[in-house]
Amino acid sequence: MDNLSRRRVLSLGAALGLVTVMDSSKAWASPSAAATGTGAEYVWDSAADPLVASLIENGQVASVNSAMATWVNNNDPLPSGLPADLTTYLQGVNQLPSWADPVKLARASDFNRRRDTYLFMLYGLGSGIMSTVIPREARSVYWSAGGADMQNRAAKTFTFGYDLAQLGAFDPTGQFIVTANKTRLVHAAVRHLLPQSPQWAAVTNEAVPISAADILVTFHSLGTFVRRRMLDWGVPMPAADQDAFLHSWQVALHLLGVPDTYIPQTWAAAEAQSAQVLTPILTSTPEGIELAKDLLGLTAQIDLGVTRGFLNEFVRYVLSDQIGDWLGLTRDYAAAALVRTAWPAYIMFREGLSPIMPGTFYVMDQFIRALAMLFLNKGTSPTTTLITIPTGNRPAA
Task: Measure the CA–CA gap between 54 and 247, rounded to whole angstroms.
Answer: 34
**What pLDDT was estimated at residue 271?**
97
| pTM of the predicted structure, to 2 decimals | 0.85
**What pLDDT was estimated at residue 303?**
52
Question: How many domains does the chain divide into?
Answer: 2
Of 235, 250, 283, at which residue does a domain stop? 283
Residue 329, CA atoms < 13 Å, CB-side half-sphere: 34
Task: Measure the CA–CA gap between 120 and 123, rounded to whole angstroms.
Answer: 5
Based on the fold, state whether residues 181 and 233 are members of the same structural domain.
Answer: yes
In a domain, 382, yes or no: no
Based on the fold, state whether residues 240 and 363 are members of the same structural domain.
Answer: no
Based on the fold, state whether residues 177 and 326 are members of the same structural domain.
Answer: no
CA distances from 227 to 49, 163, 260 (A): 32, 19, 21
The torsion angles phi and psi of 144, rounded to 5 degrees, stand at -80, 170
CA distances from 218 to 162, 211, 213, 319 (A): 17, 11, 9, 15
Residue 30 has pLDDT above 70, yes or no: no
Based on the fold, state whether residues 264 and 290 are members of the same structural domain.
Answer: no
Place 199 in a pLDDT band, splitting at 50, 70 and 90.
very high
Please name which of 147, 108, 145, 151 lies closest in space to residue 290, comparing C-alpha atoms. Answer: 147
Based on the fold, state whether residues 226 and 358 are members of the same structural domain.
Answer: no
Task: Measure the CA–CA gap between 28 and 282, rounded to whole angstroms.
Answer: 29
What are 92-112's pLDDT values in tens digits? Answer: 999 999 999 999 999 999 998
CA distances from 223 to 119, 205, 214 (A): 10, 26, 15
What are 45-79's pLDDT values in tens digits? Answer: 999 999 999 999 999 999 999 999 999 999 999 99
Average pLDDT over residues 293-322: 79
Of 13-27, 94-108, 130-144, 345-359, least confident by mean pLDDT is: 13-27
In a domain, 384, yes or no: no
**What pLDDT was estimated at residue 60?**
98
**What pLDDT was estimated at residue 392?**
95
Residue type, 321: D
Place 354 in a pLDDT band, splitting at 50, 70 and 90.
low
Based on the fold, state whether residues 300 and 198 are members of the same structural domain.
Answer: no
Based on the fold, state whether residues 121 and 168 are members of the same structural domain.
Answer: yes
Based on the fold, state whether residues 277 and 294 are members of the same structural domain.
Answer: no
Based on the fold, state whether residues 214 and 326 are members of the same structural domain.
Answer: no
In a domain, 109, yes or no: yes
Which residue segment(s) compose the domain that 290 sits in?
286-371
Let me know how many helices (H) and strands (E) the chain has, helices first.
21, 0
Of 1-5, 86-90, 135-139, 184-188, least confident by mean pLDDT is: 1-5
**What pLDDT was estimated at residue 1?**
41
